[in-house]
Amino acid sequence: MTWTKSKFPKLKIAKNKEKIRGSSSVLSHYHYRFDPRLGHGKCAMRRIPCLCKQCCEMLDKKWIPGVNAENQPCYSPVLNCKYHDILGDYNNWIIMPFITSSNTCEDDIEELHNSILINISDKMGTFVTEYTYGAVNTNDSRTDGFYIVKFLSKAYTLQQDEMYENDILKEGCLVSDAEYLTPAMKDSSWYINTKLGAVKVDMKKVLVPKLDVSIAKSSSDLDYTMSSMTQKEIDEKEPFKLSSEDYDAIMDEIHRRESVEFEADEYSDIETVEM
């Protein structure tokens, strides 16, 4: 993998200190954090590993969906870090994108992507449980890139190849039985269960395995856009509203998944390192 010096930010030198040699080099950083929330091909780097109370508290801060990694609270400068008076901004987190090198072949990229997808599948499978709700990836242009589903089973391994929507789910694939939900109306954040029957969902397509869903029980739980529903329809269709937090989390994951399909970029001023 390669990196480019142009991606290093200009750092402020600590008061009464000289510029630190090698500050714009990956190999001069000794604290690497490979956080899957950063997206494919990125890691957070720091000059010096530090486990002081202030640094640990910063890393424990909640990830905010819809906010760039560079602006996440958990990767903000730790101004009261015990090394701050010595290193100043030189110990700030840097979000560094890595790219494929010129000697990386297509087989390497395919193997890397396949490994990522298998790990995604395994991870999602551990979180999926019966009668919970999740979001799955789709290329349907009528959507924002996802469907909402109600899982009807835990994840299990497919015992034979099966055809679904022109795709082949291969033997050994991790899947779950589920029902697709539909928006109550166009561009609505309310979803209803039309009970069209169970389908098999590939765990590699799961974006968020558990959504914070509160099913409406009566008309008092609905807003004005859903006021026409009768109590019978509410009981049958189990309407719920997708929260803005869950929507942002879904969109964040869609963007991360899209980066898995990247093609090798060409950069100037690059240096090859072994990671």
Digit-coded pLDDT (tens) for 99-109: 777 777 777 77
Q: How far apart are CA 27 and CA 126, in angstroms?
A: 36
What is the rounded CA–CA span in Å between residue 123 and residue 35? 14
Which contiguous run of DSSP H or E holds residue 272?
strand 270-272
Cβ-contact 128, 154 below 8 angstroms: yes
Does residue 65 have a pLDDT over 90?
Answer: no
Q: 14: pLDDT confidence band, cut at 50, 70 and 90?
A: low
The pTM (predicted TM-score) of the whole model is 0.70
As a whole number, mean pLDDT of residues 69-76 equals: 91
- Confidence (pLDDT) at 159: 87
Segment 27-31 shows an average pLDDT of 85
Residue 73's SS3 state is: helix
List Cβ neighbours of 244 (8 Å cut-off, separation of 6 or more). Answer: none
CA angle 203–141–212, rounded 5-degree value: 45
Using a 10 angstrom Cβ sphere, with 0-12 exposed, 13-18 middle and 19 or more buried, the burial of residue 197 is exposed
DSSP string of 141-156? TTSSSEEEEEE-S--E
pLDDT tier at 90 (50, 70, 90 boundaries)?
confident
More confident residue, 80 or 268: 80
Token digits of residue 116: 């990522």
Identify the pLDDT of residue 270: 36
Structure tokens given for 34: 């490979």
Question: What are 148's two structure tokens?
Answer: 């909402």
Tell me how far apart the alpha carbons of residues 43 and 96 are, in angstroms, rounded to a whole number: 6
Question: What span, in angstroms and rounded, lies between the C-alpha atoms of 140 and 81?
Answer: 47
Task: Name the β-bridge partners of 96.
Answer: 43
Hey, what amino acid is at 204? K
Predicted confidence band of residue 11 (pLDDT cuts 50, 70, 90) = low
How far apart are alpha carbons 3 and 268 in whole angstroms?
10
Mean pLDDT of 73-83: 89
Give 185-243 pLDDT, tens digit per residue.
888 899 999 888 888 999 999 999 999 999 999 999 999 999 899 999 999 999 999 99
Q: What's the CA gap between 53 and 63, in Å, rounded?
A: 19
Quote the DSSP letter at residue 251. H
pLDDT higher than 70, residue 274: no
Q: Within the chain, what is the greatest distance between any pair of CA atoms?
A: 73
- Please give the single-letter amino acid code of residue 83: Y
Judge whether residue 264 has pLDDT over 50.
Answer: no
- pLDDT of residue 269 exceeding 70: no
Closest CA to 60 of 29, 84, 22, 33: 33
Q: Of 100, 97, 46, 108, nearest to 68 (Cα)?
A: 97
Quick one: pLDDT at residue 259?
Answer: 65
Per-residue pLDDT of 103-162, as tens digits, reads 777 777 777 777 878 888 888 999 999 999 999 998 888 889 999 999 999 999 998 888
The confidence score (pLDDT) of residue 23 equals 65
Exposed e or buried b for every residue in 96-113, given b needs 16+ CB within 10 A?
A: bbbbbeeeeeeeeeeebe
At 76, list the tokens. 């903000």
The single residue listed with the structure tokens 């890139």 is 145
Express each pLDDT in 163-191 by its tens digit.
766 678 888 889 999 999 999 988 889 99
The residue extents of the domains of the chain are 2-102, 106-259
